[in-house]
Structure 1
Amino acid sequence: MLTYVGIDQMAWLSIPGDKSSGKDFKAWVDNFMLAKNAISCTSDELWGARNGLLHMGTAEAGAHKDPSIRKIYYTFGNAKCTKNDTSDVFVLKAEDLILGFLLGVFWFIDHLKEHPDQLAITSAKLGRALGVRDISPDPSA
């Protein structure tokens, strides 16, 4: 789940506005995760998986009414999925998703180095997200 949160945050950092959408999530995944990684699923499938986990705690989401969007089930390490080998399911190793995300972050950073306008937007947002805030009580109150 936290990997999907990270993707959401990177998508938000990649756009000029303050509210990112599923379209932005999918664009970031397409441009920085799937374009250079060997993950054999689509951004639509990752968006559906994100929504299923976030909103229902399942592999299913409204997007799965579209038969072209497979559900994503997860394995880890050398585990093999032997019971759900159907055309509507894609089995993704959790570490491949995590590594794909981390590599996507590096490729996004490289992209920002070549696009100063987008770097300015991302930097301003990071300043808001990672800024230091004084939480000590107001002594005058």
Structure 2
Amino acid sequence: MDFNTNELIDNWHANAENAAYMLHSNELMGQCLVVMYASIDAMGLLNAANSVDQASSETFKTWVKDYLLPNGKFRCNEMDLWAARCGILHTFTSGSNLSAKGAARQIQYYGSQDWSEQYLKKLDSIASDTLGEAAVFQSSYSLYDAYIVGLGRFANDLKALCKQDVAKAERMKRVLGVFAVKRNS
């Protein structure tokens, strides 16, 4: 069955959003992080120049700067998120080689939307006592909410990019492939 570009993007967007939603709503944040970080890898590649053929730290960080960080409250930056992605995808922990070397702060996720000064100071104290200056607390709710918004914004931008650029549309089909097909299709 042949799908048009917009339909593939819409299907992939719905699948990625539904997967994250199901995990997040069941409080399976570790698994939700895997889905979100792997999806950001794919979106970063799709957002990159056509000459780029592999997802990388640069494609990930660019997507994060353009589509994730503007949509939420963050105490971390794109390098911290890249290091967190490496830790989660490779060892299912918050630590990574980058955080161990001091090149990024280790993200400690907390399951609250509390951004009060008092609460954040308490978290910072915990981080300082356990990991020193090498850690930062980040609301998993804020990360999830920003991901959902960024995912939608990117899906719309990707449609426009694919409409303007045949090579971009072909790469999108290769990257998203069967992950863009709905089960009932």
Sort the TM-score into its range (normalised by shorter chain).
0.7 to 0.9
Ranges in structure 1 where 5+ consecutive residues have no aligned partner? 134-141
Following superposition of structure 1 onto structure 2, how do residues 34-53 of structure 1 map, counting pairs within 5 Å? 34-53=69-88
Question: Residue 32 of structure 1 contacts residue 104 of structure 1 at CA under 8 Å; is this kept in 2?
Answer: yes
Greater displacement, 1-10 / 102-111: 102-111
Instruction: Give 2:177's aligned amino acid.
Output: L
Shift of 1:121: 4.7
Q: How many residues align?
A: 133
Give 2:170's aligned residue: 124
Instruction: Give 2:134's aligned amino acid.
Output: D
The 1:57–1:46 alpha-carbon spacing in structure 2 relative to 1, beyond 3 Å, is same
Shift of 1:6: 1.3
Shift of 1:36: 3.8
The 1:66–1:118 alpha-carbon spacing in structure 2 relative to 1, beyond 3 Å, is farther
Taking structure 2 as the reference length, the TM-score comes to 0.59
More helix by percentage: 2
Q: CA RMSD in A?
A: 2.9
Shift of 1:52: 0.9
Ranges in structure 2 where 5+ consecutive residues have no aligned partner? 1-33
Q: Which has the higher contact order (CA 8 A, sep 6+)?
A: 2
Greater displacement, 32-41 / 16-25: 32-41
**Counterpart secondary structure, 1:90:** strand
The 1:58–1:21 alpha-carbon spacing in structure 2 relative to 1, beyond 3 Å, is same
Instruction: Give 1:98's aligned amino acid.
Output: Y
Give 1:26's aligned residue: 61
Give 1:54's aligned residue: 89
